[in-house]
Structure 1
Amino acid sequence: MITSHTFVALSYSEFQEKFNHALNVISFKPTLAFVFASVSFPLTSLMDVFKSQQIRLFGSTTGGEILFDKTLNHIGEKSVVVVLTDIHPDCFRLFPVKRGNATPYALGAQLGEKITAAFRHPSALVVGSGIVMDGQALVEGIVSKTGNEMPLYGGLAGDDGRFEKTFVFTEETVTDDGVIALVLNQSKIELTGMISGGWISLGAEFTVDKADGNTVYQINGLPALDMYMNYLNVKEEDLPAMGIEYPFMVRNEDGTSVLRAITGIDKDRRSLIFAGSVPAGSVISFSTSPGFEIMENTREKIIAFHEKNKKADLLILFSCIARHLALGPLISTEIKLASIKWKKPLAGFFTYGEIGNNEKGHSTFHNQTFTLALLRKKRS
């Protein structure tokens, strides 16, 4: 079993106090920590604390922090969530990769090569930073090397809803434009997971005339930014924040669809920047949350997934910030159900995009989803 110790802190001084207390009271030597923190925290100081204790660190800034355990149900802002674990160093590898001049696809391919070289049967948790990061291209690059059926879960970092600069970090490296991969030996530490969406189309369909990767320039003959503003009757200053709540639903050739949320705008070029690719020629529609129905959808999926995967030692949640905006305090309902079902600590954060294996088992980039990853130590 993976042994863990969790805590939340609302300030750096409280973090220091609780971290030192944890080292004095826990019965195991921490080897790997998960840290999900508001951008208001001094990240390099946090990193130094773990480095000084030789604890490896998988970290991301957030759009809100989540921790549900035996004594605490925390959904917060401007806080830090910490999970200390005893996962054996032989069972995992940490790979921080800064993007530099690489495309998101090339960055993903570079990371995919590291993942496949790490273990004979790898799986991975991945967090990415960069407001203009194309999450779909990143995932496509990873699976070009790993195959798209490898367990792969994660999300894009947040920055308290500012949409200015996000970060991912280890105990030694921090980047505002790159990725961190926690690669697990799937033969020793099993990674499984599930995703749940629920957003619905508003009906009318449009065609993307001009796009490049995750930047859309023209829709139905109009500049993309102007078309979006006119349809929803919003102002420039409302974006990109409102774009998280009203993503595009992109219809795929096979009849399935995927959601794409706005993470940035270019006022000069009148373009929209999305968390994932939206190719030219795509048929799109606006979408929105149907309200409480998305909780019922998630509840059914959690129950069904638990029936087939009843054992877990630790739960890591990547939940879109749009779900928090749509449900408000009721967001705790769907999170708490997962915590109750497995009776294990659940830690995570509100993301700007999610990565997870879909219902066909294929690794995909998502928006607006509840993406839950389960970690379990296998018996020797």
Structure 2
Amino acid sequence: MKIVQLKKKENIGWEYLSKKINLNNPLVLVFGNRFLLEQANIYDEVSELFPNAHIIFASTSGDITAHSVDEDSITITAIEFEKSTFEVKTTNISALTDDSFKTGSDIINQFKKENLKFIFVVSEGSLVNGSQLTKGMNAACNNVLITGGLCGDAARFEKTLASYNESPKEGEIVAVGFYGDSLEVSFSIYGGWTPFGPERIVTKSQGNTLYELDNQPALDLYKKYLGEKSKDLPGAALLYPMNVRIENEDQSIVRTILNINEEDHSMIFAGDIPENSKVQLMMTNVDNIANASERAAKQASLNREKSPELAFLVSCIGRKLVLDQRVEEEVEEVISVVGENTVISGFYSYGEIAPFNGESNCQLHNQTMTVTLLSE
């Protein structure tokens, strides 16, 4: 596996973060600031750097390398596989009348399944219902590891962009399927958030929209807890996500609020909030988040035959807001485990895609660090 990384900031040219080498038919991941990805010449710039490449764009709430975490930049990670192969497939949520389950199953059904080892997904993060998307992907492809994340737009929540071999656009979902027995892939997720306050019952919801808790308007109750911070909604909600215990499910999940509706006093989440679920507010601190990232890296590293060459990190925008000036600490914790020879590529997201530890079907998570390790 050969890997090249570059970074670009506004009005500054591309800077190599690694040794410049020629790559043959590489997979090129371009993670970056939404406004920079909207610039008219960005696709031409990247394709000029890598003429025979498979180029994937994804807007983020911060792009991650071993060198830094940046919110106002674009990072390229170009990967040439020596023995493994890959295919790239796309679909668009707006073209399927917002049916996230069908979108998920459709994109996975495009892959040939023989010898399919792993799928990495970057999904638009504004329109999609992430929990229905992952259910659709699982329905189409059982027992194949799927990880990735929902694209971001800093803490603006205006729109997200993604694309494959064209200029970044809205509504796009891109998946990369990796093939080959030589490829070793492992993963883990951890959060580091703690529930607090009373547990309440979801008495009215539809999909990922929450209307009532304990028969009271959900938004009103949430604002009561936030107090003065409620004026900063929906951004302030990233600091206080919800722990959701769904009936007949073994694992509880964390859900982040993406938007609010003042007219009907509802809250829109990144994934489903089923009726009769029990929910509780959550909080955390810098140390807990950094420790959770270290645990994820250690868990992903267990029982590997080969040291990882590449690490995909997808972390939540809510974690980034808590970490603030210390945001690089959670990445440093991962590096301390996987080693400085492992290339780090990733982004801060509106939702993380991975199975629970020890399980095979992927889920939508919020407020986690997802670590995926690859080697040939």
TM over 0.5: yes
- Work out the CA distance in 2 between the residues paired with 1:304 and 1:192: 9
- CA change 1:204–1:97 in 2 (3 A) is same
One of 195, 206, 209 as aligned partner of 1:215: 209
Deviation at 1:331, TM superposition (A): 3.1
Deviation at 1:95, TM superposition (A): 1.0
Deviation at 1:337, TM superposition (A): 3.0
Matched, 1:296 2:270: no
Partner AA of 1:4 in structure 2: I
- Work out the CA distance in 1 between the residues paired with 2:170 and 2:53: 22
SS at match of 1:40: helix
Partner AA of 2:237 in structure 1: G
Deviation at 1:294, TM superposition (A): 3.1
User: Which whole-Å deviations, capped at 9, do the CAs of 1:24-69 have from their partners, x for residues lacking one?
Assistant: x41433521111110121445222234451211122101111111x
- Work out the CA distance in 2 between the residues paired with 1:10 and 1:171: 21
Counterpart for residue 285 of structure 1: 280
- Work out the CA distance in 2 between the residues paired with 1:107 and 1:302: 30
Counterpart for residue 114 of structure 1: 110
Matched, 1:32 2:27: yes
- Work out the CA distance in 1 between the residues paired with 2:12 and 2:296: 39
Contact 2:24 2:52 in 1 (8 A): no
SS at match of 2:153: coil
Contact 1:37 1:60 in 2 (8 A): yes
Q: CA RMSD in A?
A: 2.3
Unaligned stretches of 5+ residues in structure 1: none
Matched, 1:315 2:311: yes
Counterpart for residue 158 of structure 1: 152
Counting only pairs closer than 5 Å after superposition, residues 255-270 of structure 1 correspond to structure 2 as: 255-270=250-265
Matched, 1:48 2:48: no
Matched, 1:274 2:269: yes
Deviation at 1:179, TM superposition (A): 0.9
Contact 2:125 2:152 in 1 (8 A): no
Counting only pairs closer than 5 Å after superposition, residues 173-252 of structure 1 correspond to structure 2 as: 174-234=168-228, 237-252=231-246
Counting only pairs closer than 5 Å after superposition, residues 308-347 of structure 1 correspond to structure 2 as: 308-309=303-304, 310-340=306-336, 341-342=338-339, 343-347=341-345
Deviation at 1:237, TM superposition (A): 4.1
Query: How many pairs were matched up?
Result: 366
Deviation at 1:300, TM superposition (A): 3.5
- Work out the CA distance in 2 between the residues paired with 1:208 and 1:95: 37
Give me the TM-score of the superposition, normalised by structure 2. Answer: 0.90
Deviation at 1:168, TM superposition (A): 1.2
Counterpart for residue 360 of structure 1: 358
- Work out the CA distance in 1 between the residues paired with 2:214 and 2:135: 27
- CA change 1:172–1:22 in 2 (3 A) is farther
Counting only pairs closer than 5 Å after superposition, residues 37-186 of structure 1 correspond to structure 2 as: 37-43=32-38, 44-52=40-48, 53-68=51-66, 73-87=67-81, 91-99=85-93, 100=95, 101-115=97-111, 117=112, 119-147=114-142, 149-172=143-166, 174-186=168-180
Deviation at 1:197, TM superposition (A): 0.9
Unaligned stretches of 5+ residues in structure 2: none
- Work out the CA distance in 1 between the residues paired with 2:83 and 2:109: 20
Deviation at 1:111, TM superposition (A): 1.4
